[in-house]
Chains A and B, each alone.
Chain A
Amino acid sequence: MAVTPPSDNLPLAEGLRAANDLVSAKLIEDWALGGALAAIYYVEPFATYDADIFFIPRDKGLTAGIPAIYAHLQSQGWRVEREHLLVRGFPVRFLAAQGLTEEAVREAERIHYEGVPAKVFRAEHIVAIAASAGRAKDKARIEQLLQQADLDKTFLENVVHRHKLKLPTL
């Protein structure tokens, strides 16, 4: 699967397809695209150097099934480099979802990217996750989403309230 001709575009479709394969192989329960690439679904494009795929583990143990996920993807031609798995040189992180991120996976928006069915975090969840992280780049992401995305304010307030978060003053 992973050995495909080089292209000028990001190999995002391969990453999403691999995530679907992990569901088919019963290694994960569900997944969604999060992080910067999910934010870009709603806002203007900006440079980012990896893709974050959040998954709900089937294996509820300490490792969240990550060794089996890595082994499966390596058998498909993916390379491992520190915490990343590389598809055609593009780093993808598979992150076990829990709490707010698990909710974000379960309620993610269904999309098709280059013919691949996928899920992407809702903009409101991206804002809430950024608020929970609280770094300077998260504050910038929140500001960008508030300016450019069509946020459901009621939904956002509900998520922020339930997870006891506070949006930064911009």
Chain B
Amino acid sequence: MKPEMRQKLAREPFAEKIRKVAQLIRLAKAFPRRPRVTPAHPYGK
């Protein structure tokens, strides 16, 4: 995200930002990060 956009989000009212935090939590719960599958080392170590 562009710094100007991030700055704009930072300037939003606190209540609006808390609503966005709630949305982010819902998204994170709906689409949990899967643990990264570490590829085998290319040189077999």
A residues neighboring B (CB under 8 Å)? 8-10, 12, 37, 40-49, 111, 113-114, 147-149
Contacts and interface: CB of A to CB of B under 8 A. Distances in A.
A148 B21 CA distance: 17
Contact of B6 (A8, A47, A113, A148): A148
Nearest to A111: B14
28 contacts: A8-B22, A9-B19, A10-B18, A10-B21, A10-B22, A12-B18, A37-B21, A40-B14, A40-B17, A41-B14, A41-B17, A42-B10, A43-B10, A44-B9, A44-B17, A45-B9, A45-B17, A45-B18, A45-B21, A46-B24, A47-B24, A47-B25, A47-B28, A48-B21, A111-B14, A147-B7, A148-B6, A148-B10
Interface size class of B (residues with CB under 8 A): 10 to 19
Nearest to A148: B10
Interface in B2-45: 3, 6-7, 9-10, 12, 14-15, 17-22, 24-28
Taking chain B's interface residues, is the majority helix, strand, or loop, or is none over half, making it mixed? helix
Nearest to A49: B25
A148 B7 contact: yes
A44 B15 contact: no
What 8 pairs across the A-B complex have the smallest Cβ distances? A44-B9, A47-B24, A45-B20, A148-B10, A45-B17, A44-B10, A43-B10, A10-B22
Nearest to A10: B22
Interface of B: 3, 6-7, 9-10, 12, 14-15, 17-22, 24-28
A8 B29 CA distance: 14
Contact of B3 (A41, A45, A147, A149): A147
Nearest to B1: A44
> Which residue, B3, B17, B28, has most C-beta atoms of chain A within 10 A?
B17
B6 to A, nearest CB: 5
B12 to A, nearest CB: 8
